[in-house]
Amino acid sequence: MERSGPTAESTVPGGRILIVRGGAIGDFILTLPVLQALKSSYPRAVLHLLGYPQVAELARLAGLADQVQAIEAQPLAGFFVPNGPLAPDWRTYFAQFDVIVSYLYDPDHIFRDNVLRCRQVDGERTTFIQGPHRLEEQPDQHATQTLLAPLERLAVYQPDCRPRLALSGDGRSTMPPGRWLAIHPGSGSSAKNWPLENWRTLTDALIESTGWRLLLIGGEAERDAVEQLISDLPSERCRPAVCLPLTELAALIGNCEGFLGHDSGITHLAAALGLRGLALWGATNQRVWRPQSERFELLLAPNGITGIQVEEVLRRCRFWEAG
């Protein structure tokens, strides 16, 4: 982690902060404590987020960012070229910030150096803090703690490591009444997934022996799996949620009581929304990647995720229903 410019403490309290964060859904959710800590420590500061809008918009809706800018904007390309041509609008944009915390992969400091070129007037410079890019390099520390560590440069110590999302507008009108259990049978890797046949056996048992209604979640990669699961289930007890905008999906998940999934970004999203949950866990390092929520449990088997028994997952769901 590196820092350039004057002391951050002198520029932040009523100033402007930019967080630069790419990455997938899970990476972004695990970065929420950074936004939470900055909002708590510097409530008068204006906080912008440069990221993928389809994901970063969650932070704005939750009041954790004042504005979101698209990181994939074509004019930004010059900032990744040594002494590259900098688009005037983006020069003006970066120049407004007192502090920039970046989690981009920037080993040669090209992005940092170009950003610092934007504000060199009357002795003023932006405080630039380089955050970590590869979280697995800290195998005994949770990813949220690794992401929060750069904030010590801003005198932010021992912040809450739990991602929290409280979206404005609860979206309850979009869900039929009943007790809903959200199920995400996929992840970013097939090696992390419980066999589909187990999910089929589980969903059949949930319909037959519990009162749960099922919200079956999937992206493009899980479309076929969700269609297979839902094809034999009664339509009045099930609802598919496939390839939805993330803000819409978050509103639906937020109206559920429980969640079942794998090591995935959607699992981290459900945990941040405060659901009770069970993550069927494989070989991923849980010290780094487990959901940071006291309401989430991990279920592991000695011989890997395929060894997790349907009966044990069903038992947990029945226990939640009775609670």
Which of 271, 209, 199 minimizes the C-alpha distance to 237?
A: 209
Looking at residue 4, its pLDDT comes to: 40
Number of domains, the chain: 2
Edge-to-edge order in the sheet of strand 67-70: 3-4, 127-130, 99-102, 16-20, 46-51, 67-70
Residue 169 lies in a domain: no
Q: What is the pLDDT of residues 106-131, one digit of tens each?
A: 999 999 999 999 986 656 788 999 99
Quote the domain boundaries for residue 224: 178-322
Residue 120 lies in a domain: yes
**What DSSP line would sit under 129-178, residue for residue?**
EEPPS-GGG-TTS-HHHHHHGGGGGGT--S---S-----SS--GGGS-SS
Residues 145 and 195 in one domain: no
Phi/psi zone of residue 298: left (φ > 0), alpha (ψ -120 to 50 degrees), beta? beta
* Helix (H) or strand (E) run with residue 59 in it: helix 53-61
Q: What is the dihedral of CA 238, 251, 310, 190, to 10 degrees?
A: 110
Cβ pair 261, 280 in contact under 8 A: yes
The mean pLDDT value for 296-320 works out to 96
Residue 162 lies in a domain: no
Residue 133 lies in a domain: yes
Looking at residue 117, its pLDDT comes to: 92
Which of 102, 144, 85 minimizes the C-alpha distance to 4?
A: 102
Residue 204 confidence (pLDDT) above 90: yes
Which of 224, 251, 221, 230 minimizes the C-alpha distance to 183?
A: 230
Residue 9 confidence (pLDDT) above 70: no
Q: Which percentage of the chain shows pLDDT scores above 90?
A: 84
Residues 132 and 185 in one domain: no
Q: Which percentage of the chain shows pLDDT scores above 70?
A: 92
Looking at residue 121, its pLDDT comes to: 61
Q: What confidence tier does 81 reach under pLDDT thresholds 50, 70, 90?
A: very high
Cβ pair 52, 26 in contact under 8 A: no
The tokens of 77 are what?
């390309």
Residue 179 confidence (pLDDT) above 90: yes
